[in-house]
Amino acid sequence: MQLKEKLGFYLKNQFSTQQLWQTSVFFSFLILGACSQPTPSVESTLPPLIPREILFSDQNKMDLRMSPSGEFISFIAIADGVRNIWVTENGDLNQARQITFSKRDVFYEYYWSPDERFIIYQGDSGGDENFAFRSVEVETGNIQLLSIDGNVRSQLYGLSATYPDRIVLGYNQRDPRFFDLYSVDLKSGKNELLFENTAGYDRLYLDNDLQIRLARKPADNAPYYELYKIDKRQNGELFYSIGLEESRTYRILQFDQSNQVFYVLDNMDSDLLRLLAIDYQTGKKTEIAASARVDLEDVIFSPRTAQPIAYTENYLYPKQKWTGDALFQFPSIFDDQRIQIIDLTNDEQKALVRVSGKKPGRYYLLDKDANHQLIHAEREMLQAMDFSDPKPVVIKTRDGYDMVSYLTLPPGSDQNQDGIPDQPLPLIINPHDGPWRRVSYGFDSFWLWLANRGYAVLSPNFRGSTGFGKAFMNAGNMEWGRKMQDDLNDARAWAIDQGITEADRVGMYGMSYSGYTSLMALARDSDKYACAVDGFGASNLETLLNSLPKYWMVEFEEIVKRMGDPRTPEGRAFLKERSPIHYVDQFKKPLLIIQGENDIRVTQQESDQIAKALKDKNVPLIYLLLKAEGHGWFQHDNSMAISGITELFFTKYLGGRFEEMTDEMEKSTIEIVEGKALLESMQQIEEK
């Protein structure tokens, strides 16, 4: 069945389900008082299954950008299974022309050059994170490799309207720990050395003339990092220090047009990140904006003055705010949505804005006259479907912290809309990755996929999450596998107390850091969880820290202060006590492992060693190895196969709904390392 046919089938059946529910409610009023009626089952109130192909389809336009003059709109879409770039001149995305034709690179980000002659884009090969940059000339389609050849990682350090024909890239070729900077011509690809980083700086900051003005490196002792001014001879002078407590979230943003003032998100004299201006010569700080509840984020700068004009406050819901007079008036249809200013034209007369919330994202063009034009709706087939709005809830931890969390319920399961389902549901705890980031309100196809299958989904911001002040984030220091894990158990207990779920119907699904929490859930608390999914999770914190990429090692001293130190006997003992691999005897419940073959962050060793140990203990286990993938998956066929297997896994152990699999595994690059027999037994559920 084609996608549009599947969509038509869904909408037809969704309407029938709603009609049936409305009819049953009408007749219940007729006999109210004569007898009590049983509550409809959750299954009977759920809409039809949304096909995975529709939920996770990449066959759509994404990552829209507007060129500096506003003449062009660009976007990424899939061509032959690979992300590529399209451009249109008239705003009609259906008339766009493809300008890149990659067959292997995975696209991560792309940028317009200030004179909009070029688009600069970044990609790697098979998820290896050895990023390379290329330029494509918009008019001719000529593509030029900008990064130097070899097994080298490239990073973008600067673009400038003053020098629109070149950018500054950094390479770790000379020393894999540090990045030397090069000025790169966008047309020819010629590289000229700009700065040889022999001083060991881990971060370098350029002004609007592409000159290095600031650099950061770890201090020999506390305070933790030192920021240096860099003069015209490229010599460093100590400016100020950044402590461990602030180091994970403190952000230097950019210089203004004068190149004498730079902007930061600063929490050195406060718990919360504030937006400050700092005078380069005197160091004087001026506060521009602050919040009483959260760290500020997503600062937007003026293309004319390079000064901040907007930012986001994000507690339960993200709120866009202006630093001064509003540059644009947002229409009322943006109310209660997440608003993201993607691009502004150089004259600040037009803005490309993305809004999202209960529905997938929609892109609008705004002008100064308050006109707004919808130019693209993401995942068009999902826009008309019935989804539950993720509900923010605040959960108290056992020691008194507030955890802002998001609860998503299946549509139709909460008839009185009080945030509690009419009867308990199977629950999936879905912590975020990082762990030094946060989860926010917005459209999340993962949450909505599982809700459509009949699960409640709860995503907590546990201690160690960013966004809620440095005290809350630093409360996670040295608490991997302990208090951070306790927070997840507290979220589970809250859901049981609220009647959202029952004690024997809770699973966990996690990726990266939260893959580790899935392993720890079964290692520490097998009595609390019916099953778990671990994607790219560390099983041994000692081997994890000893295998980090070389260019992460500059921050190693900070990392070990937050996790534990593998270089000392005491540190190794601590890491052992926090590592799932040392608790294999306590694993009792089924586990699904997902691992990328080319993952450089959490290497294959982490999944191999826990899978082998659990196999020897006869723990129910499926281990999927993704060929030609890294820390995550980008290939559409792999996405379809993984989501299908995950559905079957949760159906078997938690009892939700599923869509049958067909040939997804045959199309994927997935190797079933362990658990073929278990997977075959799960597929028999489909046949029944």
pLDDT in tens, 217-276: 999 877 799 999 999 999 999 999 999 999 999 999 999 999 999 999 999 999 999 999
Residue 21, pLDDT above cutoff 70: no
> CA dihedral in degrees (233, 234, 237, 238; nearest 10)?
170
How far is 162 from 303, CA to CA, in rounded Å? 12
Beta-carbon contacts of residue 431 (< 8 Å; ≥ 6 apart) = 459, 460, 462, 488, 508, 510, 513, 514, 517
Structure tokens at 465: 């999450």
Among residues 147, 247, 512, 518, the one annotated as catalytic is: 512
Would the pTM of this model clear 0.85, i.e. be above it? yes
Give DSSP secondary structure letters for 312-370: EEESSSEEEEESSS-SSPPPGGGTTSEEEEEEE-TTSSEEEEEEESSS--EEEEEETTS
Across residues 10-30, what is the average pLDDT? 34
> What would the pLDDT profile of 399-435 be if each residue is shown by its tens digit?
999 999 999 999 999 999 999 999 999 999 999 999 9
pLDDT at 25: 32
Q: Which among 592, 669, 666, 679 has a CA at the least distance from the CA of 630? A: 669
Gap between the Cα atoms of 488 and 469, Å rounded = 19
Task: Give, in degrees to the nearest 5, the angle at Cα 435 between 625 and 495.
Answer: 95
Strand pairing report for 132-137 and 118-125: antiparallel
The alpha carbon of residue 144 and the mean position of all alpha carbons in its chain are separated, in whole angstroms, by 30
Q: Please compute the mean of the pLDDT values over residues 638-643 and round it to a whole number.
A: 92
Neighbouring CB atoms inside 10 A of 128's CB total 19
Spacing of C-alpha 99 from chain mean position: 27
Task: Extract the tokens encoding 133.
Answer: 């940059």
Whether residue 392 is preceded by a cis peptide bond, meaning omega within 30 degrees of 0, is no
pLDDT above 80: residue 40: no
pLDDT tens figures, 493-542: 999 999 999 999 999 999 999 999 999 999 999 999 999 999 999 999 99
User: Which pLDDT score, from 0 to 100, does residue 686 have?
Assistant: 57
Residue 631 designated active-site:
yes
120 compared with 31, residue with greater pLDDT: 120
- The string of pLDDT tens digits covering residues 308-320 is 999 999 999 999 9
Question: Buried (b) or exposed (e) across 630-655, using 16+ Cβ within 10 A?
Answer: bbbbbbbbbbbbbbbbbbbbbbbbbe
Which pLDDT value is given to residue 81? 72
Residues 6+ apart with CB under 8 A from 271: 469, 470, 471
* Band of residue 632 on the pLDDT scale cut at 50, 70, 90: confident
Q: What letter does residue 381 receive in the DSSP assignment?
A: G
Per annotation, catalytic residue among 372, 376, 631, 636? 631
Q: Within a 10 A sphere around the Cβ of 568, how many other Cβ atoms?
A: 11
Q: Which residues contact 260 (CB under 8 A, 6 or more apart)?
A: 279, 280, 281
Residue of 599, 636, 639, 643 marked catalytic: 599
- Residues 6 or more apart from 180 whose CB is under 8 A from it? 170, 171, 172, 173, 174, 193, 195, 196, 197
Helix (H, G, I), strand (E, B) or coil at 275: strand
Asked whether the beta carbons of 137 and 187 are under 8 A apart, the reply is: yes
262 within 8 A of 255, measured Cβ to Cβ: yes
524 touches 485 (CB < 8 A) = yes
Residue 512 designated active-site: yes
Assign 298 a pLDDT band (cuts: 50, 70, 90).
Answer: very high
Helix (H, G, I), strand (E, B) or coil at 4: helix
Sheet containing strand 191-195, edge to edge, reads 154-158, 166-171, 180-185, 191-195
**588 contacts 582 by C-beta, under 8 angstroms:** no
Residue 669 DSSP one-character state: -
Q: The tokens 């997503």 sit on which residue?
A: 298
**How many other C-beta atoms lie within 10 A of the C-beta of residue 134?**
21
Rounded Cα distance, 517 and 435, in Å: 10
Q: How far is 259 from 201, CA to CA, in rounded Å?
A: 21
Provide the pLDDT confidence category of residue 683 given band limits of 50, 70 and 90: confident
Query: How is residue 75 written in tokens?
Result: 């976007």
